[in-house]
Amino acid sequence: MNNKRKSHSGKWKTALIYLELIVMALVIIYPVIWIVGSSFGSSKGLANASAIPANPTLQNFKDLLTKTDFPLWYMNTLKVAFANMFFGVLISTLGAYAFSRFKFKGKRAGLLSILILQMFPTFLTAIAVYMLFLNFGLLNSLTGLIVVGVAAQLPYNLWLLKGYLDGISPSFDEAALIDGASRTQIFVRVILPLASPMLTFVAVTQFAAPWMDFILPKLLISSEEKKTVAIGLFSMISDETRNEFTLFAAGAVLVAVPIAALYIALQKYLINGLTAGGDKG
Amino acid sequence: MNEQADRRAPLWIVGIFSSVIWGAGQLLNKQFLKGFIFFCIFAGSIAVEILTGNYGSMPHGFSLRENGGFFLKGVWGLVTLGTQPRKMGITGLTEGDHSIVLMVNGIIAVMVIAILLFFYIWNIRDAVNGRKRIIQTGVWQTSTEYFKKLWESMYAYIVLSPSILLLLFVSLLPIVFGVLIAFTDYTRNNIPPTKLIHWVGLDNFITVTQVFSWMHTFLGVLSWTIVWAILATVTTYFLGFFQAVLINSPRVKFKKLWRSIYILPWAIPGMVSALVFKSMFNGQFGPVSQFLVDIGLTSERIFWFTDPSNTTLARVMALIINLWLGFPYFMALIGGTLTNISDSYYEAARIDGATSGQMFWKITFPIVYKATAPLLTMSFVSNFNNFGVIYFLTGGGPANPNYNFAGSTDLLITWLYKLTLDNRLYNMGAVMSIIVFFIVGTFSLWNLRKSKTFEEL
């Protein structure tokens, strides 16, 4: 009797849990379906956008790729993303290698100043960077965007990778040193492979940042042909009179799908990286 | 005999030699190459000053503005910020001073002078220490030996140099510049090169604290920013926690499927999601308002983010949407921690007759909280500066006529953006940045104080 009631209430509990899970799943998925549906919608405006369009069409994607500068923005962002990833990983790993494995004068002061630099809102520096680039002729160039993009994340990445390398026993380095490897060889053959989980994290975040970064390109890029997708997408939606919501939807889908796929495929590395970053303040 | 005399030359003579002419002390120590290199740095910086300056023609006597080179004119420019603005003439702009360019050049000059000063002190100390070693051991170290040793100890610096250069010129220099701007009158009314910028001391800080409208805006925006940061962090943390516990429950099947669905908001670029929500909740055309009217729940459309008479609605909506965006991260994180809790704790508790609620609050929660506490602080800081959600979702609105250039949902960071970019009140923006830095910095340091990282330093 008692057992029966227990299993009865257990069933109710299970049902309640499933109900919650389903409701949450709907709340999560609906906006996603809505924007994907809108991107296939046949009428341009926001008012007629719906999750299940009446006459689905690929026209929005066609228009986006042929009638707007979207492909150009996409290529620009792709270039910045790859350069950001390459230089970001290279420079921060080299620096972290020095901080983790060598004793030198100014190490403590260096680490502390990096920690303080990291607390400064990047935004404050953006205006100054704008003035600097004006002087050095880097304004309105993707190179400038890459330089700032790498520098902005550098303090965080340095601390993160330093912490990770500290956790790798130096006995691996010492063994290689006995075998006659130079310090650069040790870096390439020992440190890089061992640090690969954290390097994956740095690489993915550096790659993903330009797709979402708005402030810097907004400040540093003025011409249409150097725009990145973040600026382009924002301009499509901020002007309500232009009535091109479905174009925005198509663009949003094209930006979100690859990044989301990347994040989901590498989620383990990303969550680990974020956790480690928090431990280091 | 000669060598004998040299050996007896006291320390201070070598020091004075090096402090007057760089490298001269090293010459006395018979480290010719090293002395030569120090001398080259010395001569090189003088040459830079002379070549970049205008020392050839001084019809009106020497003036820093006309004749100074990279270093002297740099410092002059930083101190005065220019004396003659450029004017519009018939042939275009006349020659004149550009305060911002002068300021930036001045900062660079001061930074280079600091580096040279470092070499200067190194040069003197090196001469004295080298002499000391000779007196004590009688061994004369050659330059080559010294450089060999130096190269080995320099490896770390060489590897670090790209980081150092980037941080110096792309992070530190702009920060110094930004801080200095807070002490000037650089606003839309004072745009170089046709106007000069002046140092105004603490005037801007006094304006923020003394002028009522500024103080009112600042306190209003600050308190909402703090409320926002706390609520945004706590709500995402607890919803993430809740979902993680539910998925982890033995009653639930297809755990991987649920997890993949809930992780979606984290994987989609935040800016895209925020813009999508902005459209969904658009007051005039958005589907949500329309739906509510259609089913008869509301008689007219709701202007979620733009209704000035209902600021609470906009704030609550921003928090809810931030919850959608933010909980998956904590869910994934806590999900990982949950699977690491040993079952033996729960078994022991069950034998003692603990209820599932007791088990949660006495076992699960403390363990997870301890593992994730540092991330809560980080999340608080990033929510404090959460530009993306507010700017793309509400744009700071609804408008607030009592505020200076801010709306009701504006955070300090978005207000700062409006001050500098939209309204070009660069000096006020800089003041706000400094304040934000102090708040965030104090909070982070206070939190860091307890961590392992800080002890290692």
User: How do residues A28-45 score in pLDDT, each as one tens digit?
Assistant: 999 999 999 989 988 777
* CB < 8 Å from B in window 53-72 of A: none
Above 80 in pLDDT, residue A277?
no
Query: In terms of C-beta distances under 8 Å and separation of at least 24 residues, what long-range contacts does B20-27 make, across chains too?
Result: B22/B119, B22/B120, B22/B123, B23/B123, B24/B127, B25/B123, B25/B124, B25/B126, B25/B127, B25/B128, B25/B130, B25/B131, B26/B123, B26/B126, B26/B127, B26/B130
Give the nearest chain B residue to A253 (CA atoms).
B272
Distance of CA A182 to the CA centre of its chain: 34
Partners of residue A279 in chain B, C-beta under 8 Å: 374, 451-453
pLDDT, residue B1, reads 38
Considering only the beta carbons, identify the residue of B246, B268, B378 that sits closest to A256: B268
Asked if A47 and B290 come within 8 Å (Cβ–Cβ), the reply is: yes
Neighbours of B296 (CB within 10 A): 7
Asked if B451 and A49 come within 8 Å (Cβ–Cβ), the reply is: no
Task: Give the orientation angle of helix A122-136 with respect to helix B99-137, to 10 degrees.
Answer: 100
Q: What is the mean pLDDT of residues A142-164?
A: 90
Tokens standing for B289?
Answer: 């308002």
The model carries a pTM of 0.84
Which residue(s) pair with B93 in the sheet?
A: B88
Per the document, the length of chain A is 281
- Give Cα separations from B219 to B250, B404, B421, B422 (angstroms): 49, 12, 21, 21
Asked if B269 and A211 come within 8 Å (Cβ–Cβ), the reply is: yes
pLDDT, residue A141, reads 86
Distance of CA B347 to the CA centre of its chain: 48
pLDDT, residue B52, reads 87
In chain A, the N- to C-terminal Cα span, in Å, equals 55
A96-128 tens-digit pLDDT: 999 998 888 888 888 888 888 877 777 667 777
**Is the ipTM, as predicted for this complex, more than 0.85?**
yes
pLDDT, residue A96, reads 93
Give the gap in angstroms from C-alpha A150 to the nearest C-alpha of chain B.
8
Asked if B430 and A124 come within 8 Å (Cβ–Cβ), the reply is: yes
Above 50 in pLDDT, residue A142?
yes
Asked if A117 and B157 come within 8 Å (Cβ–Cβ), the reply is: no
Q: How far apart are CA B341 and CA B320, in angstroms?
A: 31
Reported confidence tier of residue A252, pLDDT bands at 50, 70, 90 = very high
Q: How far apart are CA B15 and CA B121, in angstroms?
A: 10
Is the CB of residue B211 less than 8 Å from the CB of residue B190? no
* CB < 8 Å from A in window 286-345 of B: 286-287, 290, 324, 329, 332-333, 336
Please give the interface size between A and B, counted as residue pairs whose CB atoms are below 8 Å apart.
251
Give the nearest chain B residue to A268 (CA atoms).
B332
Asked if A215 and B417 come within 8 Å (Cβ–Cβ), the reply is: yes
* CB < 8 Å from B in window 72-131 of A: 91-92, 94-95, 97-99, 102-104, 107-108, 110-112, 114-117, 119-121, 123-129, 131
A198-240 tens-digit pLDDT: 999 999 999 998 998 888 888 888 888 899 999 988 888 877 6
pLDDT, residue B335, reads 87
Which distant-in-sequence residues (6+ apart) come within 8 Å of B96 by Cβ? B82, B84, B85, B86, B87, B193
Residue type, A96: A
* CB < 8 Å from B in window 133-162 of A: 135, 147-148, 150-152, 154-155, 158
Q: What averages of pLDDT result for each successive group of 10 residues across chain B (457 residues)? A: 53 84 86 88 92 80 82 90 78 78 89 91 88 82 79 83 89 88 88 84 89 89 94 96 91 89 90 89 82 82 82 92 93 86 88 88 89 82 88 86 88 88 86 87 78 62
Q: Higher confidence at residue A139 or residue A203? A: A203
Give the gap in angstroms from C-alpha B158 to the nearest C-alpha of chain A.
9
Tokens standing for B336?
Answer: 């990982």
CA dihedral sign, ordered B207, B210, B214, B218: positive
Q: How far apart are CA B293 and CA B336, in angstroms?
A: 43
Considering only the beta carbons, identify the residue of B177, B275, B333 that sits closest to A275: B333
Q: How far apart are CA B82 and CA B101, in angstroms?
A: 10
Considering only the beta carbons, identify the residue of A28, A214, A277 that sits closest to B271: A214
Q: B444 and chain A: CB distance < 8 Å anywhere?
A: yes
Mind giving me the DSSP string for chain A?
-HHHHHHHHHHHHHHHHHHHHHHHHHHHHHHHHHHHHHHT-SS-SSTT--SS-SS--SHHHHHHHHHSSHHHHHHHHHHHHHHHHHHHHHHHHHHHHHHHH---TTHHHHHHHHHHHHHS-HHHHHHHHHHHHHHHT-TT-HHHHHHHHHHHHHHHHHHHHHHHHHTS-THHHHHHHHTT--HHHHIIIIIHHHTHHHHHHHHHHHHHHHHH--HHHHHH--SGGG--HHHHHHHHHH-GGG--HHHHHHHHHHHHHHHHHHHHHTHHHHHHHHHHHHHT-
Least confident of A83-97, A128-142, A255-269, B100-114: A128-142
Reported confidence tier of residue A242, pLDDT bands at 50, 70, 90 = low
Considering only the beta carbons, identify the residue of A98, A112, A278 that sits closest to B160: A98
* CB < 8 Å from B in window 188-217 of A: 208, 211-212, 214-215
Q: B193 and chain A: CB distance < 8 Å anywhere?
A: no
